[in-house]
Structure 1
């Protein structure tokens, strides 16, 4: 069974607009925090190691967000991340955030595993692929499994 990475985040004053609801681009920052937490706590490779030691980055190349219900200052949102697709050099993840079983926002983002010095994608190798595959959702796609 595929693992789901979960992280609770409290909506802070800094996330909100004058109406007291999350200003939509702040969700993108929260998604990035969740991905960073997933690398450190789910995959076992923190961003400091990823960037400074391995000289790899994961630039986002595609982002699709669906805003369902506003979130307010003080709400505690549960972010859930699963892998939807593992390509040759890219990974697509789906992130949903909500309270209880009610999603408030959903996103699908695609990042590329990239060499930071050459600024080019690198193949997802035998070190990375099983780490990502552990979070591959049912019905997800792994191009190496073809």
Structure 2
């Protein structure tokens, strides 16, 4: 079982195309922001702190699947509901449901890996097993 967090968004005019409809990559931007916010709401320190203590530099995105159901426009207040759909050894699948009130506008799944710089090499990334303290805090 996973915790569910809520990340609120106010849609701005600049988030929309000329027809006044939210440009689809903005939904991905909000899901990405909600992914980081999920960990912080669960009590996980910011990545810059975890890098110093356990070497984790973040959770880069490996894959994303998104379904759009209804449009949004500027002035709308949206909520991104984020939870863990699946824990794997080195990967987490985040589920995002974006709503305007009770109406579901968009759903997305993000696959993210927990990574470090192996041997301190800033040019390389290596996926590591998800630490148990992160699983516990987010479940």
Q: Map of 1:58-73 to 2, 5 A cutoff?
A: 58-73=59-74
1 or 2, which has the higher strand percentage?
1
Q: Over aligned residue pairs, what C-alpha RMSD do you find?
A: 1.8
Q: Map of 1:36-75 to 2, 5 A cutoff?
A: 36-51=36-51, 54-75=55-76
Deviation digits for residues 34-73 of structure 1, max 9, x if unmatched? 1121222223322332456634221111100001100000
* Structure 1 runs of 4+ with >3 Å offset: 50-55
When structure 1 is superposed on structure 2, of 83-92 and 44-53 the one drifting more is 44-53
| Structure 2 gap segments, 5+ residues each | none
1:95 is paired with a residue whose SS is strand
Matched, 1:130 2:136: yes
1:38 is paired with a residue whose SS is helix
Q: Give 1:89's aligned residue.
A: 90
Q: Is the 8 A contact 1:36 1:47 kept in 2?
A: no
1:57 is paired with a residue whose SS is coil
Q: Is the 8 A contact 1:39 1:47 kept in 2?
A: no
TM-score normalised by structure 2 residue count: 0.86
Change (3 A) 1:47 1:125: closer
Q: Measure, in 2, the Cα distance between the counterparts of 1:52 and 1:14.
A: 37
Q: Is the 8 A contact 2:2 2:85 kept in 1?
A: no
Aligned positions, number: 133
When structure 1 is superposed on structure 2, of 40-49 and 120-129 the one drifting more is 40-49
